[in-house]
Amino acid sequence: MSSTTKLKMNYRKFNTIWTIVVAVLVVVAIAATVVMNFFSLSMEIFLGRGARVVEPDPEMSNVDTAYYESNAGSTDELNERTNRTAQAIAEQVIVLMKNNNDALPIAKQSKVTPFGYRYGNPIYGGIGLGSVNTASSRIYTAKRALSEFFTVNSDVEKAMDEATARGLDSDGYQKPDEKTGFEGSTDTIIEFDPSIYDGLEDSANGTTGIVFIGRSGGEGGDVTADMPGSAIEGKGYADGTPHQLAISQDERNTIKYAKENCDKVVVIIDSPNVMEIGDLMNDDSDVSANAILWIGGPGGQGFKAMSEILCGDVNPSGKTVDTWMTDIMEDPSMSNFGNAEYENLYLLQGGYPNPVGDPTEMNFIEYEENIYVGYRYYETVDDTGGTFTVNGKDNQTYADAVQMPFGYGLNYGTDFSQEIVSTEQNKDSVTLKVHITNNGTKAGKDVVQVYYDPPYTDFDAKNSIEKSTVNLIAFEKTDDIQPGAAQDITVTVTKEDRASYSYAHENSDGTKGAYLLEQGDYALSINKTAHEKYQSVTVNVPQTIWYDNDNPRQPDKDGQAVLDDQGNPTNEPANGDTFKAASNLFQDMTDHMSKISQLTRANGALSNTATFPTKEEKADIPAAFNAKMGDEGRLILQQMDLDADTTLGNTAGSKVYTTEKPTSNADNGLTLSDLRGVDFNDTKWDQLLDQLEWPSRIPE
């Protein structure tokens, strides 16, 4: 073979290789561009954003583009107002969970020693679009907040700044896996090795130790847990921590160090999730704290509010918005934690109309807890004579199972009492006048919490109608009430808000499912928490009311009504016809859920009967799923065929099919800004759509 021939062959081979390389790079570039655009906000937050350049379009000079009128004089003034609002919200919602012997507040500029990875690397909020731009100078970090109010132990702070934290997972300690933005929340528990504090004992003496414990949470990051029977069985942590919402060994040892070397210890819970903190609350535990503050996801100004509360400038008044349980893994919602896989159902991934990749297993979760979620479960079990399983022990009491009830929160130096001083009832509602008195020594805010307990009858048991014994129906926070002073608050509760849903009810018009307000006595109570009542009154409903299409509830009407210029419902149907009551819209799914083991009161005391799906339940594929048998005997969930689908397809008889071509290129002289504030049902929307140029057919 001649050298010329070899050269041509090498050249062709070279061309082939580079053609493939360039093609791959083009595909990668296109994919990266799509991803970067989709996650543009997250990318800008975490990688920085360039300067914005605005070039006005001359043709838009006469268009009013000022969508919102602002009375702020400048951007700086607007930012300051935003900061004050965020700070005020945080001041109202941070929860004081424990405060033994008035450990808090502590004096301004007193010496404090911070501990923990989350002191320098806090959880500010969610992830992705819920994240906080921590690069902004407006953000109050935990460091900034403590330094402005207290004298911070610089030796310990320096030790943490210079140390490298470690991430705990099921295999042991790894490099910190601190995910950000759209990557998903981390499932490693990140903390310093407590040995970094060795030799700093003298600097901590005489100070208040403030230990920061945090957990991230959000899309793309399910909590890691060792859940027997589920898909995540055996997924605990190497140090014995059973799940991500428990306190790790590094965190426990850090708290022990603080207890041994500081005058008192305050724990800051920086987590959007409920955590297991029983040992921190228990005074007999070797990691018990003197005080505990839950700050949730504090956002940009929450750490400043935290410091205001720590020093007493603000008296805490937040209440828990979940039940804090002793054993999270025994909650009914955890029985199905971890996706179950159908026995034989596969999903074709996106790429319409041509799917990409191979079919993957189809996952599902069964919601067996019924309506008994959170406090509704714990309170109903206790009220109906049931018991709990806690840390492997059966027949445990409410006090064993619940660390803090829903609606719990402490103040500094207050002692509130509440009394119902009057009750007024008409055909539509009940109005309670509540008298709140501060019998303490400091001014503070309290919350009026109104709950109702509906009658539960044989009719409910036979018709699969579930009712919790405790249901929050209204709440209102007081102003600052001075010691010895009082405030009256009036709360109105509609009768429709006390209705329950019957998914089995046969309506006269052929639909199925309706709300009902059953006859009988309803207890309305004002509570200190979901578990502890101040006082209750009884309200009677003389006869059962069904809210079907002959008698829709007012909330159903309001959601379907024409709105006035102020956005208020007018009681006129937006569809120009009639209002529709709530009823079953996905009967196939209702039928499927009714076959699995739902929690129920029908058999007596409520108990946790929820279990991870059985083999039979995994094989029970709802009839509503459009699946066909594919290669290798696999049942494949099909994508919708827009041309042939008889429900939403472009075929005669479907719900959206029409032979009438929409108006196109109309000269109505409208711009989108002209419809600012215009009612959803106004004909101007159709006139604007008529101006669009519609293609003869959507391109494939």
| Strand pairing class (95-99; 291-294) | antiparallel
Residue 50 one-letter amino acid: G
> If you average pLDDT over residues 593-615, what whole number do you get?
91
Tokens of 464: 């699969």
696 against 317, higher pLDDT: 317
Question: With contact defined as beta carbons under 8 Å apart, do 259 and 197 qualify?
Answer: no
What is the per-residue pLDDT across 267-297, written as a single tens digit (0 to 9) for each?
999 999 999 999 999 999 999 999 999 999 9
Is residue 196 within 8 A of residue 185, CB to CB? The reply is no
Q: Which tops the pLDDT comparison, 507 or 7?
A: 507
Question: How would you classify residue 351: left for phi > 0, otherwise alpha for psi between -120 and 50, otherwise beta?
Answer: left
Question: How far is residue 151 CA from its own chain's centroid?
Answer: 36
Residue written as token pair 């829903």: 406
At 699 the pLDDT is 47
Nearest alpha-carbon partner for 256 in 313, 194, 203:
194
Q: Which residue has the higher pLDDT, 15 or 55?
A: 55
Asked if residues 541 and 524 have their Cβ atoms less than 8 Å apart, the reply is no
Instruction: Answer whether residue 633 shows pLDDT above 90.
Output: no
C-beta of residue 480 within 8 angstroms of C-beta of residue 487: no
For residues 49 and 36, give the distance between their C-alpha atoms in angstroms, rounded to a whole number.
12
Residue 623: which pLDDT band, with cuts at 50, 70 and 90?
confident
Taken as a whole, the chain contains a residue count of 700
Dihedral class, residue 353 (left if φ above 0, else alpha if ψ from -120 to 50, else beta): alpha
How high is the pLDDT of residue 6? 55
Indicate the pLDDT class of residue 660, thresholds 50, 70 and 90.
confident
Query: How far apart are the C-alpha atoms of 348 and 237, rounded to whole Å?
Result: 34
Rounded Cα–Cα distance for residues 554 and 545 (Å): 13
Give tens-digit pLDDT for 356-411: 778 888 888 889 999 999 999 999 999 999 999 999 999 999 999 999 999 999 99
Three-state SS at 678: coil
Residue 431's H or E segment, with its range, is strand 429-438
Residue among 503, 459, 507 nearest 592 (CA): 503
Q: Measuring CA to CA, which residue among 251, 240, 163, 153 is closest to residue 200? A: 153
Higher pLDDT, 138 or 415: 415
Q: Are 292 and 270 in contact (CB under 8 A)?
A: no
Contact 294, 95 (CB under 8 A): yes
At residue 206 the predicted structure's pLDDT band, cuts being 50, 70 and 90, is very high
The structure tokens listed for 614 are 């059985």
Tokens in use for 306?
């935290």
DSSP string for residues in 321-384: SS-EES-GGGSGGGGG-S-EEEEEEEE--S-TTS--S--EEEEE---TTTT--THHHHHHHHHT
pTM for the model stands at: 0.88
Task: Show Cβ contacts of residue 37 under 8 Å, excluding neighbours closer than 6 positions.
Answer: none
Q: How far is the C-alpha of 450 from the C-alpha of 529, rounded, in Å?
A: 10
For residue 45, what pLDDT band results from cuts at 50, 70 and 90? Answer: low
State the Cα–Cα distance between residues 515 and 502, nearest whole angstrom: 6
Cβ-proximal residues to 18 (8 Å cutoff; 6+ apart), any chain: none
Instruction: Report the pLDDT value the prediction gives residue 508, as an integer from 0 to 100.
Output: 93
d(CA 622, CA 230): 21
Q: What is the mean pLDDT of the chain?
A: 89
Backbone angles phi, psi at 471, to 5 degrees: -140, 115
- Quick one: pLDDT at residue 700? 45
Lowest-confidence pick of 105-109, 149-153, 434-438, 607-611:
607-611
Residue tagged 């009712």 (tokens):
467
Statement: residue 237 has pLDDT above 50: yes
State the CB neighbour count (10 A cutoff) for residue 614. Answer: 14
Structure tokens at 64: 């009013």
What would the DSSP string read from start to end of 216-280? Answer: ---TT-PPPB--TTSTTTT---TTS--BTTSPPHHHHHHHHHHHHHSSEEEEEEE-SS----HHH
pLDDT grade for 231, boundaries at 50, 70 and 90: confident
Residue 679 confidence (pLDDT): 79
* Cα–Cα distance for residue pair 267/290, rounded to 1 Å: 8
**How far apart (Å, rounded) are the C-alpha atoms in residues 422 and 537?**
10
| Cα 296–chain centre separation | 11
The DSSP secondary-structure symbol of 614 reads: P
**Tens digits of residue pLDDT in 147-166:** 999 999 999 999 999 999 99
Dist CA 141 CA 134 (whole Å): 8
The C-alpha atoms of residue 217 and residue 293 are separated, in whole angstroms, by: 19
Q: What is the 3-state secondary structure (H, E, C) of 455-483?
A: CCCHHHHHCCCCCCCCEEEEEEECCCECC
Helix axes 302-311, 142-149, angle to 10 degrees: 30
